[in-house]
Amino acid sequence: MFGMLRMWAPIHLLAILLFSISPRGMIAQGSALEFRARFERDSDPMHRAKMMPQLGEAEFQQIDKDIATGNLPQALEVAREYRDQVQSCEKALDAKEPDPEKHPSGFKQLQISLRQSLRRLDEVLVNITSDEQAPFVELRKELDQLDRHLIRELFPSQPNDSRAGKHKN
């Protein structure tokens, strides 16, 4: 057991050293590419949904980097890819699990990722001109609709009860 630990320890230290000296942008782009590749390889919708918070974070780091360098078309493309990933994940989850209220695994992670991405997109919108905002605003509307759909699935409205809100005597 300890022999295996000794064997892998230098490799782990080397990896930590390499990541600590790499520019943040390279890590963000590498992370986004790595997460995207893992996401595409995995066919289980639950696993894919559970990857979405990390994938979203990595992709929004890439979006921030692209915007900082003035590459808005690339930033928009990455944001659209994220939207497409969320849509495919949501459709696959709906097909696999008919009752998200009783079995929320995957749905919760996807909704959390969407909520985080909406917040990050709001931060992006503040930092670009109104002319540049239009495609990002449209994308935000689409993500917001997906988020609201997931919330309705996780917390479906209860049937109207005529006694709701009335106290029993």
The string of pLDDT tens digits covering residues 109-155 is 999 999 999 999 999 999 899 999 999 999 999 999 999 999 999 99
pLDDT at 4 over 90: no
Whether 166 maps to a domain, the answer reads: no
Whether 144 maps to a domain, the answer reads: yes
Whether 5 maps to a domain, the answer reads: no
Mean pLDDT of the 63-73 span: 95
Q: Is the dihedral of CA 21, 81, 89, 117 positive or negative?
A: positive
Q: Which of 46, 53, 45, 63 is nearest to 112 (CA)?
A: 53
Whether 125 maps to a domain, the answer reads: yes
How many domains does one find in the chain? 1
Residue 1 has which token pair?
């057991």
> With pLDDT > 90 as the criterion, what percentage of the chain qualifies?
67
Whether 33 maps to a domain, the answer reads: yes
pLDDT at 168 over 70: no
Whether 69 maps to a domain, the answer reads: yes
Mean pLDDT of the 33-60 span: 91
Q: Which of 86, 97, 96, 99 is nearest to 49 (CA)?
A: 86
Mean confidence (pLDDT) of the chain:
82
Domain that holds residue 69: 23-154
Q: Is residue 93 a contact partner of residue 156, using CB atoms and an 8 Å limit?
A: no
pLDDT at 122: 96
Whether 99 maps to a domain, the answer reads: yes
pLDDT at 15 over 90: no
Whether 162 maps to a domain, the answer reads: no
Least confident of 36-45, 93-102, 160-169: 160-169
pTM (predicted TM-score): 0.74
